[in-house]
C-alpha cells in the first residue's frame, strides 16, 4: 500500500509540474472555475503536498506501532522457546540418567 501511495504521489507531483489535471476535468469545468470568485476563506492547508505529507506521516506512525507490537510478540515467543528448550534439556538429562542407570546395572 505504501508503494501505491508513493507512485500516486509522484504522479500527482508530475501532474502539478505540468499543470495538467487529467481527462476528468472538462473545459466547461475549467471555465467555471476561472469565473468563480474566491470566497475569501482559506481552503485547507493550501498545498496538496502538506496533506500527502501528513498522510504519509500517519502511515509511518501506524507502521512503527505495528513494528513495535510485532517486536513485543517476538520477545514473547522467544521467551516461550527458551522455556520449551529448558524443558527439552531437562527431558534429555532425564533420558541420559535413565540410560546410564540401565547401562551401569547391566554391567555388574
Tell me the pLDDT band of 40, cut-offs 50, 70 and 90: low
- Confidence (pLDDT) at 24: 47
- Confidence (pLDDT) at 31: 45
- As a dihedral over the C-alpha atoms of residue 14, residue 18, residue 19, residue 25, rounded to 10 degrees, the angle is -80
Taking residues 11-40, report their average pLDDT: 52
Whole-number Å distance between alpha carbons of 74 and 47: 41
| pTM as predicted | 0.44
Q: Let me know: does 96 contact 90? Beta carbons within 8 Å.
A: no
Q: Is the pLDDT of residue 30 over 90?
A: no
Domain coordinates in residue numbering, the chain = 2-33+46-107
Q: What are phi and psi of 11, to 5 degrees?
A: -65, -45
Whole-number Å distance between alpha carbons of 106 and 74: 47
Amino acid at each position: 500500500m505504501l508503494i501505491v501511495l508513493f507512485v500516486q504521489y509522484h504522479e500527482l507531483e508530475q501532474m502539478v509540474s505540468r499543470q495538467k489535471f487529467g481527462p476528468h476535468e472538462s473545459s466547461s469545468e475549467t471555465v467555471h472555475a476561472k469565473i468563480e470568485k474566491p470566497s475569501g476563506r482559506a481552503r485547507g492547508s493550501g498545498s496538496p503536498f502538506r496533506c500527502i505529507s501528513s498522510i504519509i506521516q500517519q502511515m509511518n506512525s501506524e507502521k512503527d506501532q505495528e513494528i513495535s507490537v510485532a517486536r513485543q510478540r517476538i520477545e514473547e515467543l522467544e521467551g516461550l522457546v527458551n522455556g520449551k528448550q529448558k524443558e527439552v534439556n531437562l527431558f534429555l538429562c532425564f533420558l541420559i540418567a535413565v540410560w546410564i542407570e540401565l547401562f551401569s546395572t547391566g554391567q555388574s
